[in-house]
């Protein structure tokens, strides 16, 4: 496959960015999207140009580092798939692909396709943890949890913190990300000790970081590679209302 790539190039956080067109040739349909970018970068390095900076780590859909917007869609055209697990067979010979970083004020571009997602870390630090002393690992059946509850908690814990939900949202809202963390902790007994304090501090931190509000568009759910349901946002809202109506926080 021969492709034309329109890639966002930006030298630093404060530099003015812009799209630059590159031709890449002999791309295998079996390459991953990131391997295709590796091919581009090898050709750029060979001719003395700066390679395109992009974030990645696991390359197997686990770490959440690799997010880019491909032809206007966070993580590209294939549903439930991170950019690192997207294969070039999703595209056609002769295609033109536009590749750009997440766009959100709370995720400033550091270089080319790399954004600073440390705002997510600060939201987690504000409340997305359990601070009770749990002691040693208990027997598996010491705390009985109904199977449907444990599965719902595990489904929410599948969030990889990639930020695609923010990139897809016209409000740059972090609600789907926060709601996944809040739901998985609120559903389990270990997380209930701090459930009301948690939801308030995490939402306050998201506001301070510059993320927007949720207006129920559903774009976040549509692009989430881990199928985190938007119903989690309703759960988060219920948790928040209970928190502000009680002194128990």
In order of 14, 119, 174, 232, the CA distances from 105 in angstroms are 13, 10, 12, 24
Regarding 65 and contact with ligand FES (CB under 6 A), the answer is: yes
The rounded distance, in Å, linking the Cα atoms of 65 and 57 is 6
Residues in region 76-115 near ligand FES by CB under 6 A: 82, 84
Regarding 119 and contact with ligand SF4 (CB under 6 A), the answer is: no
Give counts: helices (H), strands (E), the chain: 8, 7
Regarding 70 and contact with ligand FES (CB under 6 A), the answer is: no
The rounded distance, in Å, linking the Cα atoms of 70 and 187 is 35
Three-state DSSP class for residue 23: strand
Going by the DSSP 8-state scheme, the letter that residue 87 receives in this structure is B
Cβ-Cβ contacts under 8 Å for 79 (sequence gap 6 or more): 222
Regarding 156 and contact with ligand FES (CB under 6 A), the answer is: no
Residues in region 129-148 near ligand SF4 by CB under 6 A: none
> Using CB distances below 5 to 8 A depending on partner kind, what does residue 226 bind out of ligand FES, ligand SF4, none?
ligand SF4
Regarding 53 and contact with ligand FES (CB under 6 A), the answer is: no
CB of 224 to ligand SF4, least distance (A): 3
List phi, psi (to 5°) of 63: -85, -25
* Candidate residues 10, 37, 61, 104; the one interacting with ligand FES per rule CB under 6 A: 61
Contacting residues toward ligand FES, per CB under 6 A: 56-59, 61-66, 82, 84, 160
Under the rule (CB under 6 A), what is the footprint of ligand SF4?
A: 159-165, 176-177, 180, 224-226, 228
């Amino acid at each position: 496959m021969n492709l034309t790539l329109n890639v966002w190039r930006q030298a630093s956080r404060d530099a003015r960015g812009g799209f630059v067109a590159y031709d890449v040739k002999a791309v295998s349909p079996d390459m991953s999207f990131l391997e295709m970018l590796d091919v581009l970068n090898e050709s750029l390095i060979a001719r003395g140009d700066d390679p395109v900076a992009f974030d990645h780590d696991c390359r197997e859909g686990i770490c959440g580092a690799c997010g880019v917007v491909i032809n206007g869609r966070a993580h590209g055209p294939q549903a439930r798939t991170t950019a690192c697990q997207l294969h070039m067979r999703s595209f056609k010979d002769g295609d033109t692909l536009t590749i750009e970083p997440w766009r959100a004020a709370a995720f400033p571009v550091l270089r080319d396709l790399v954004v600073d997602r440390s705002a997510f870390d600060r939201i987690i630090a504000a409340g997305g943890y359990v601070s009770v002393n749990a002691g040693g690992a208990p027997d598996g059946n010491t705390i009985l949890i109904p199977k449907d509850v444990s599965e719902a908690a595990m489904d929410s814990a599948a969030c990889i913190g990639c930020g695609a939900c923010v990139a897809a949202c016209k409000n740059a809202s972090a609600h789907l990300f926060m709601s996944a963390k809040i739901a998985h902790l609120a559903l389990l007994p270990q997380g209930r000790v701090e459930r009301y304090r948690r939801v308030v501090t995490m939402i306050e931190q998201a506001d301070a970081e510059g993320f927007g509000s949720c207006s129920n568009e559903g774009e976040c759910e549509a692009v989430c590679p881990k199928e985190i349901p938007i119903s989690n946002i309703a759960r988060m809202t219920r948790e928040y209302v209970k928190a502000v109506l009680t002194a128990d926080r």
